[in-house]
Structure 1
Amino acid sequence: MRQEAEQRHVSLNTLANQIFASFIEWEMNANKAGWMILPKEVIKTVFNSMSDEKVTAMASLAAVHAKEANLAMKGVDSFDAYYSITKNRLARSGFHLTEQKSDNAVRLHIQHHMGEKWSTYFKAQCQKVIEHHGHRCNIITTDNTVSVEVMR
Structure 2
Amino acid sequence: MAKRSTESITFRLASSDLEILRNAARESQTSLSTLVNQIIRSYTEWEISSAKSGHIVFQKDTLKEVFAAMDEDTISRIARHTAHSTIDIMLLMMGDATLNEYLTLLRRRAKRSGFDMHEHYEQTSKIRRIVIKHEMGRKYSLFCKEQIEATVQALGCNRARVDFTNDTMILSIVVDTEYTHLENVATLRKTHNDLI
TM range, smaller chain:
over 0.9
Q: 2:39 aligns with which of 9, 19, 22?
A: 19
Give the structure 2 partner of residue 148 of structure 1: 171
Instruction: Judge which range, 92-101 or 64-73, deviates more.
Output: 92-101
1:137 partnered with 2:157: no
Q: Which letter does structure 2 place at the counterpart of 1:72? A: L
Two-structure CA RMSD over aligned residues (Å): 1.2
Q: What TM-score comes out, normalization by structure 2 length?
A: 0.74
Report the secondary structure of 1:41's partner residue.
helix
2:140 matched residue in structure 1: 118
Equivalent in the alignment of 1:87: 107
Equivalent of 1:99, from 116, 119, 131? 119
Q: Matched residue of 2:27: which SS?
A: helix
* Structure 1 residues 137 and 73: CA distance shift in structure 2, 3 A: same
Q: Which has the larger radius of gyration?
A: 2
- The offset of 1:102, in angstroms, is 4.8
- Separation of aligned partners in 2, 1:19 and 1:101: 28
2-side partners of 1:23 and 1:35: how far apart? Answer: 14
Q: Could you list the runs of 4 or more consecutive aligned residues of structure 1 that deviate by over 3 angstroms after TM superposition?
A: none
Structure 1 residue corresponding to 2:91, chosen from 60, 63, 71: 71
SS state of the match for residue 136, structure 2? coil
The 3-state SS of whatever aligns with 2:53 is: coil
SS at match of 1:10: coil
In structure 2, what is the Cα distance between the partners aligned to 1:14 and 1:126?
Answer: 33
The 1-side partners of 2:128 and 2:84 are apart by 22
Query: With structure 1 as the length reference, what TM-score do the two structures score?
Result: 0.95
Unaligned regions of 5+ residues in structure 2, if any? 1-20, 176-196
Q: Which runs of 5+ in 1 are unaligned?
A: none
